[in-house]
Amino acid sequence: MAQHIILQLEAPLMAFGATMIDAIGPTLEFPIKSLITGLIANALGWRRAEREQHQHLQERIVMGVRLDRPGTELLDYQTALLFENEQGWTTRGIPEGRKKSSSYKRGRSGRNELTHQRYRYYRADARVIVALRLEPSEGPPTLDEVANALDQPARPLFIGRKTCLPSAPLLAGPPIEAESVLDALLKWPLAETLPGKRGGRVDLPTEHRSR
């Protein structure tokens, strides 16, 4: 038996990023390991540039996912008017501009401009349960440290994109003892599903895929 923690991912909108092509950002039905790694790292207060720490944590995570409420897919069409030679501030604190391009055309303002378009997909009104443990269990961060960080995060947490703020605590409760992540998911109480929605689907845990 091993200790597992249970995460509940629930929000009006969540994004479980898949491979982005051009300006189209799709979403999966459930989170993959890299998203959970980033979520935990953010809770611990790690910086994005600390790649080795992120990679080591991701390699230790053994997880499985249960869809209590699949929700529905929602498309958000986004546009932004960009001007040639215009600069903006980045998360690195350094202004960054865009390279000259033939895509810029003279606008009504007399400046060269273009309309940037993006298509962002989200999961609306979904509820996802994640069971996870760390292997090996020794070494930082420990499972208890991860649980404490998710309960009292170093920074505000979001699920996939910064606009996707959780509507419930991410840490569902204290750690539970289970033989596997599948066993942990089966032990955790099943939430009610929306009318007309089928819930409780269990995605095959990572440990069962690799063995």
Which residues are CB-neighbours of 117 under 8 A, at least 6 positions away?
Answer: 23, 77, 78, 79
Coil, strand or helix: which one is 117? strand
**Please, which pLDDT band fits residue 206 given cuts at 50, 70 and 90?**
very low
Taking only the tens place, the pLDDT of each residue in 67-100 is 999 999 999 998 888 888 776 766 666 766 667 7
**Please, which pLDDT band fits residue 209 given cuts at 50, 70 and 90?**
very low
| In the predicted structure, residue 199 carries a pLDDT above the cut 70 | no
Domains of the chain: 2-20+31-75+124-210 (3.30.70.2660), 76-118 (no CATH)
Alpha carbon dihedral 11, 74, 26, 5, in 10-degree steps, equals: 20
pLDDT at 41: 96
Taking only the tens place, the pLDDT of each residue in 103-134 is 888 888 888 888 888 899 999 999 999 999 99
Question: What is the average per-residue pLDDT within 33-42?
Answer: 96
pLDDT at 193: 45
Q: Is 118 exposed, middle or buried (0-12, 13-18, 19+ CB in 10 A)?
A: middle
Coil, strand or helix: which one is 43? helix
